[in-house]
Amino acid sequence: MTALTTLLEKYSKPGPRYTSYPTAPYFHEGFTETDWRAELAASQDPARGLSLYFHIPFCDTLCYYCGCNMVATGDYSKAYQYLDYLDKEMAQVAALTDPSRQVRQLHFGGGTPTFLRPQDIRRLMGLIRNRFRIAEDAEMGCEVDPRELTREHLVALRETGFNRLSIGVQDLEDKVQKAVNRVQPEGMIKEVYSWARDLGFSSINMDLIVGLPHQTVDSFARTLDKVVAWSPDRLAVFGYAHVPWMKKHQKLIQEKDLPNFATRLDLQQLIHDKLGAAGYVNIGLDHFAKPDDEIVKAQNSKTLWRNFQGYTTHKDCDIYAFGASSISQTPDTYMQNEKNVKKYQELVGAGRLPVERGLRLTRDDQIRRDAITKVMCDLELEKAAFAAAWGIDFDSYFAEALVDLKPLEADGFVTLNDHYVGVTELGRLFLRNIAMCFDAYLKQPTEGGPRYSRTA
């Protein structure tokens, strides 16, 4: 066992990924449609941009590992009708939005956004442009599944303004693909990637998943070698979270086929070594990018941000999210839409905003969110600047966190002194563990509380 795998084993524990703080399990139904309407009306700062997210929940087939809110269907009319409800929801939100505000970022997620036919990708973008003002240089990204995808889908995305793609690769081994019901030959992925390059998408990400059934160090090394040879701009290598108590379909995965804990640790070491050797920068939280990528530049200039779409270079934006289960965000609140597609459509059809739950942040929430974000994005916390920004005494306010960080300092993850908390190069692999030291909710009684995936 290497020194790194020893540390991965030591610090492997359940913990949040911090796409928000407080994390989504703490959203509650006491935050209602009335609260969200009031927040929209009160938060129209024309200086803040907008980030629009659209959740397309439909998929042709069910991937057994999936943790997303999705509906597997062969009935395309469901997707066609769903766009009408997205437009009705947009109309209500747009009516409460300052029309001068610009959309700086737009993202289609799912499910499978490219479940939509090319003509309906165009239709949806037309509806969005009717409701919102999209900046000329907006960052526009879409998740794509290589299966059932045609070149015309990508043409429709490019013609309607999309400049980024995220391709779901997961693993290139036949045995692994069959075990998770996602069979997509290497040649298919290579063709989709070639189309995307030819059509001029400015940034292409590939998603991989580690910890799937039948994965070994040797098999995943083959996948990594092939993917690195394609040279995508970014890579996201997510750890598979086996949570069959939350996602019933994951019971279709045989637990005996999953890599054991020691193999998972060796896989993490492999990813660290291979992607580092290929020149990719570890941004943190399983995200890697080429050194000249704007996300690396943003991290270096301390303008990187983190939200429900992961890492982003667009910090000063409110997120307006549309569709079932999607999550919106303003500086003071989070709001999640109704998750069930049928109920979502019933609420929107009745002229309602489909609010299921949400949260208004306390001052402590905001202070801790800022600290966690700086750890995960800037890789450091300057005590004096942070204390001045929030009007606190840093060492007193975070006394417990500083005690919790001491063992992590001893293991080389952080540097602690009178002036700052700094994340080391090794610490980039343990960002969740570092951030957890600042999380007040984790210190509350855990009986019946949220269950998180493991950090390694």
Q: Residue 5 — very low, low, confident or very high, per pLDDT cuts 50/70/90?
A: confident
153 contacts 114 by C-beta, under 8 angstroms: yes
3-state secondary structure of 71: strand
pLDDT, one tens digit per residue, over 127-182 is 999 999 999 999 999 999 999 899 999 999 999 999 999 999 999 999 999 999 99
Whether the pLDDT of residue 446 is over 80: the answer is no
Per-residue pLDDT at 131: 98
Backbone phi and psi for residue 290, each to the nearest 5 degrees, phi listed first: -65, 150
What is the chain's percent helix, strand, coil content, to nearest 5? 45, 20, 35
Q: What is the mean pLDDT of residues 229-234?
A: 97
Domains and CATH numbers, the chain: 3-11+19-360 (3.20.20.70), 363-438 (1.10.10.920)
Whether the pLDDT of residue 1 is over 70: the answer is no
pLDDT, one tens digit per residue, over 170-225 is 999 999 999 999 999 999 999 999 999 999 999 999 999 999 999 999 999 999 99
Per-residue pLDDT at 3: 86
Whether the pLDDT of residue 8 is over 60: the answer is yes
pLDDT, one tens digit per residue, over 90-114 is 999 999 999 999 999 999 999 999 9
pLDDT, one tens digit per residue, over 274-301 is 999 999 999 988 899 999 999 999 999 9
Q: Residue 456 — very low, low, confident or very high, per pLDDT cuts 50/70/90?
A: low
CA 374/CA 13 separation, integer angstroms = 22
